[in-house]
Amino acid sequence: MSISKGDTLPDVTLVKPTDAGPEQVKSSEFFAGKKVALFAVPGAFTPTCSAKHLPGYVEKAEELKAKGVDEIAVTSVNDPFVMGAWQKADGSDEITFLADGNGEFAEAIGLTMDGSGFGLGTRSQRYSMIVEDGKVTELNVEAPGDFSVSSAEHMLGQL
């Protein structure tokens, strides 16, 4: 069963890459007391994720924040070192990268996918959500192979 609008996010540990090294972050603490635009990708450095998904949020970061978003975050079933490298290569300081290396967050919200046909194993589905004080207020899950409803442009229209 996947998470739905109105649900509270489960409390799991994610890992934020920092200059000082990986920093564990409890999801309950990260999402508490703020409005977060969260998007998830199947994998850092993968084609759609790097060419379209992340760049859209980098480009629209100021517009999202102008519409009341306190923080923009991306998560993926990748380790924090890969997420840190992706942040340096394609990200911005406006976006927080959250590694879900063991897929615990993706599994806890019921949004995993089987990428084993591509050698990826179990990964996160592509989605976006608006989270206010830990509660999902908007949820946009992509159909397999699609990229439209989880884009920054679509989220701007929801705010």
Task: Specify the pTM.
Answer: 0.93
Task: Count the domains in the chain.
Answer: 1
Is position 97 within any domain? yes
Which of 15, 49, 98, 130 is flagged as catalytic?
A: 49
* Helices and strands (H, E) in the chain, number of each type: 6, 9
Bridge pairing between strands 95-99 and 71-76? parallel
49 is catalytic: yes
- Is residue 98 in a domain? yes
The structure tokens 């999202």 sit at 64
The CATH number given to whatever domain includes residue 25 is 3.40.30.10
**Residue 152 located in a structural domain:** yes
How do the pLDDT tens digits run along the chain, 159 residues long? 799 999 999 999 999 999 999 999 999 999 999 999 999 999 888 777 666 788 899 999 999 999 999 999 999 999 999 999 999 998 788 999 999 999 999 999 999 877 777 767 677 889 999 999 999 999 999 988 888 899 999 999 999
Nearest to 128 by CA among 39, 44, 58: 39
Q: Is residue 120 part of a domain?
A: yes
- According to the model, what pLDDT value does residue 90 have? 82
